[in-house]
Structure 1
Amino acid sequence: MEALQWVRGELLVPATLAQIGVIAAAWALARFLAPKLQRYLEGWLGKFRYSRISDAVIRAVAPLSLPLIWLLLQWFSVFAAQRAGWPNHLIESVVSLLTAWVVIRLISNTVRDPGWAKTLAIVAWGIAALNLLGLLGPTIAVLDNMGLTLGEIRITLLGAIKAAIVLAVLLWLAGLVSHLADTQLAGVRSLSPSARVLLGKTFRIVMMAIAVVVALDSIGIDLTALAVFSGAVGLGIGFGLQKVVSNLISGLILLMDKSVKPGDVIAIGDSFGWINSLRARYVSVITRDGTEHLIPNEELISQRVENWSYSNTLIRLKLPIGISYDSDPKLAMELAVEAAMSEDRVRKEPPPVARFMNFGNDALELELRIWIADPQDGVANVRSNILLKIWESYRANSIEFPFGQRDLHIRSSVPIPVRLDEDGEVGT
């Protein structure tokens, strides 16, 4: 009975029925316009300059055509009702729910991390619930009163939340802008790969720094107060972050002097491979067996590095060969050169040559010298192919590979006494 009275007194009144009619009319109009808007948005796919970003935005927004149009119409309804002095609490509730719905759908379409998506969805629904219950204003007031004072600066919980939101949004925007800048720099052929990486990283650091400064300024922190912490930061860098800072500075030096760049074939220590990428703290080197080594930038500055493609990719390989003393060395050298010439990766200019190097203890020592221009494709495979062809050619032409020989000379003999036992056994 009380519920029926409440329905008659609260719902079945002209003001509430009028708001329900406005909501229903807005939904019907949004339902009619949504397919047209969705087709219009999807028609712009791939037509913008930065299609990778624009297409992602269109794919996230196009499925929300219905709630977006409905929300827009409801906002106009709220403004019109407020100007006319009509009741609009029911329409405002619908606006709050639609806003939460749109935000959550956008988050689920754009945020890939499930944890962050769930957290942001909970926050959106929480704000909508507080607004529906009329508790959003008091909650904001309570958060604004909770804080602490540091000197002349007062930091409230509300301000910290706002700063966190501003920082997250600005860092996302900074990453997006940095990605666009990297894309533009990648197309500038007049810049070297090292210069493109250096400019891209510098721009990213500047954008991140601006995001942090703006976030701190949004909560009223005087940036000059940060100078107080400079001494402590310098002390921390001097002791705890020495290696980190050294690698960062070494990375900048590598980018500026262009001693190494992505694609170079280098050998440092026991690692041999091509540089995959230059990072702020390390260099990624991938070996021929697919292992990726993360070498600190400091090692490339302080240690001896062999860069096989620094000025050019042309390198010479030396293949030692030993033949027996009974074989013809001239024929052996000719056959070795012919085997090298038959290999596709061996350069014809400068041509491969064979040299008689030494009279060895067990063999006549020859050396085949070849040039290749693609060390990034491997060195051991070229050696293997040529040595196999040399072995086949020598075998067909009766050129022998000697085995190691050792002669044992007895300088003096020692007489060994021999006696015969009574049982007929021989002993010494």
Structure 2
Amino acid sequence: MEGDAVTLTQDIALGLWAQAELFLRGLLRPWNAYQVGIAVGLFLAAHLANRVLGPLCYDWMRRREGWPKWRMRILVMLHRRLRLIFFVMLMWPAVWILRATTWPSRSYMLSIFAELALAWLTITVVTRLIGNSFLRALVRYAGWTWATLLILNLTDEAQALLDGWAFELGGTRLSVWLLVQAVIVIGVLFALARFVSTASAAQVRRNEDISPSMQVLVVKVLQLLLYGAAFFIGLRTVGVDLTGLAVLSGAIGVGLGFGLQKVVSNLVSGVIILLDKSIKPGDVISLGETFGWINSLGARYVSITTRDGREYLIPNEDLITGQVVNWSHSNDFVRLDIHFGTAYGDDPHKVRKIAREAASGVTRVLASPAPVCHITGFGDSSVDYILRFWIRDPTQGLTNIRGNVYLALWDAFQTNGISIPFPQREVRMLEDGPRGG
């Protein structure tokens, strides 16, 4: 197999060398040399036009205030390629003039130059639609290469060369040409799948009848189906036998099952979380010492942002097996408790009334249900109370509302002469007693 590939490569290389030698000899003919000279002259003219008109176009673009960003981006992209645009604009009229005034053979090379320039310019402009820079560069260079081979009528030689290098995998012959086709087809199908999934996700998120957790689940399942279908359809399109890959994927799956138990557990836990709707984006939860807001539900983890700006990535398995406090699961009403104490000399009835009124005057504390205050016990140096009040916006924080209520209690107690006792200790010095003889 390897010897045949080497022989085929040598034959193709010799054929290409013969064509290159024939091309170089053709340059010695007057009309071919004239065409090359015309192309070089038109390129210099395009370069000069870019030097003269480029700054004028740039100044005109700067004066276009208020234009949409997408239109300005197109103008900037075209401005960077003015030289090539001018070259194409000069080449094709020259080709048409030569075709109209002389024989087709005397404009053949100039037509090739014009077709190459137009193809490169078109591919450059079209690939700007690809957002990923690496993928854009890959598609651009591949497009330039294929367009050049197509215009020079070298596609058969290139295909034969790529198809000659092959290897066997599970009874399936995989050549470089087959892999190139697979990459191109799968890439196009993946781009279509991404477009469809993005548009479908936007439609799902706009549907208010679907809960946020179900929206995430629907989007994830849709993406999995689209990308999976794109992959297998792409392989089938280029003629890859999937039966051999099924055996290989089964063996790989068994190995991954043992090595990626935690990952699989998190994936399954994520699906369970989405199905039972226990948490959803925007909920306020507590898990151990972590208290924060759910940003997003991922396939492996849940993103939680705390009040101090830290973002925690909690594995889905921890949310299934651990004790989670969801402050906004079924409703947004949350009751908070505050413990305090006053001196024994203060009237408990007055203290309870002042505490309720102080809490009611704090922003975010609900008037209904109204705050309540109860005596919980008689301590060593104080009468102990509990103040309970309700809020309905836990996403705005819990510590800050507790602090505001404590501050309101302090101000109210200071105004009404209510004292907050603190532990005191009395130390007595005893004289030494009579010592025995």
Q: TM-score, normalised to structure 1's length?
A: 0.77
**Matched-pair contact (CA < 8 Å) for 2:32–2:109:** no
Q: Are 2:296 and 1:274 aligned?
A: no
Q: Are 2:30 and 1:8 aligned?
A: yes
Please give the alpha-carbon distance, in whole angstroms, between the structure 1 residues aligned to 2:265 and 2:307. Answer: 29
Q: Are 2:398 and 1:376 aligned?
A: no
1:71-97 CA distance string (max 9 Å, x none): 9x97xx99xx9xxx9555542442233
Q: Are 2:126 and 1:110 aligned?
A: no
**Matched-pair contact (CA < 8 Å) for 1:153–1:220:** no
1:81-138 CA distance string (max 9 Å, x none): 9xxx95555424422331122212332453342x444444433444455456654432
**Aligned residue for 2:271?**
252
1:375-396 CA distance string (max 9 Å, x none): 0001111111111111011111
**Aligned residue for 1:311?**
330
**Matched-pair contact (CA < 8 Å) for 1:265–1:308:** yes
**Aligned residue for 1:194?**
213
Q: Are 2:420 and 1:398 aligned?
A: no
Please give the alpha-carbon distance, in whole angstroms, between the structure 1 residues aligned to 2:428 and 2:376. Answer: 29
Please give the alpha-carbon distance, in whole angstroms, between the structure 2 residues aligned to 1:230 and 1:209. Answer: 14
**Matched-pair contact (CA < 8 Å) for 1:96–1:131:** no
**Aligned residue for 1:161?**
180
Please give the alpha-carbon distance, in whole angstroms, between the structure 2 residues aligned to 1:123 and 1:90. Answer: 24
List runs of 5+ in structure 1 lacking aligned partners: 28-44, 47-51, 418-428
Name the Cα RMSD after superposition: 4.1
Please give the alpha-carbon distance, in whole angstroms, between the structure 2 residues aligned to 1:235 and 1:59. Answer: 54
Q: Are 2:234 and 1:227 aligned?
A: no
1:259-304 CA distance string (max 9 Å, x none): 1011111111111111111111111111111111111111111111
Please give the alpha-carbon distance, in whole angstroms, between the structure 2 residues aligned to 1:269 and 1:222. Answer: 51
Please give the alpha-carbon distance, in whole angstroms, between the structure 2 residues aligned to 1:95 and 1:111. Answer: 27
**Aligned residue for 1:336?**
355
1:304-337 CA distance string (max 9 Å, x none): 1101111101010001011111222221111111
**Aligned residue for 1:37?**
none
**Aligned residue for 2:114?**
94
**Matched-pair contact (CA < 8 Å) for 2:123–2:143:** yes
Structure 1 residue 362: deviation in Å?
1.8
Where relative contact order (Cα < 8 A, 6+ residues apart) is larger, the structure is 2
**Count of aligned pairs between the two proteins:** 382
Structure 1 residue 146: deviation in Å?
0.7
Give the secondary-structure state (helix, strand or coil) at the position aligned to 1:6.
coil
**Matched-pair contact (CA < 8 Å) for 1:325–1:363:** yes
Letter in 2 for 1:10: N
List runs of 5+ in structure 2 lacking aligned partners: 1-23, 47-66
Give the secondary-structure state (helix, strand or coil) at the position aligned to 1:111.
coil
**Aligned residue for 1:180?**
199
**Matched-pair contact (CA < 8 Å) for 2:170–2:244:** no
**Aligned residue for 1:242?**
261
Structure 1 residue 205: deviation in Å?
0.5
Q: TM-score, normalised to structure 2's length?
A: 0.75
Of residues 372, 396, 406 in structure 2, which corresponds to 1:353?
372
Letter in 1 for 2:32: E
Q: Are 2:234 and 1:215 aligned?
A: yes
Question: Cα–Cα, structure 1 residues 282 and 5, in superposed 2: closer, same or farther, change >3 Å?
Answer: closer
1:165-222 CA distance string (max 9 Å, x none): 2222222221121110110011111111111111111000001101110222233222
Question: Cα–Cα, structure 1 residues 107 and 246, in superposed 2: closer, same or farther, change >3 Å?
Answer: same
Letter in 2 for 1:8: P
Percent identity reads 36
1:210-249 CA distance string (max 9 Å, x none): 1110222233222222331344233223311111111111
**Matched-pair contact (CA < 8 Å) for 1:246–1:298:** yes
Please give the alpha-carbon distance, in whole angstroms, between the structure 2 residues aligned to 1:60 and 1:163. Answer: 34
Give the secondary-structure state (helix, strand or coil) at the position aligned to 2:410.
helix
Please give the alpha-carbon distance, in whole angstroms, between the structure 1 residues aligned to 2:212 and 2:204. Answer: 9
Give the secondary-structure state (helix, strand or coil) at the position aligned to 1:347.
coil
**Aligned residue for 1:294?**
313
**Matched-pair contact (CA < 8 Å) for 1:347–1:371:** yes
**Aligned residue for 2:225?**
206
Of residues 158, 163, 170 in structure 1, which corresponds to 2:189?
170
Question: Cα–Cα, structure 1 residues 223 and 347, in superposed 2: closer, same or farther, change >3 Å?
Answer: same
Please give the alpha-carbon distance, in whole angstroms, between the structure 1 residues aligned to 2:27 and 2:139. Answer: 39
Give the secondary-structure state (helix, strand or coil) at the position aligned to 2:28.
helix
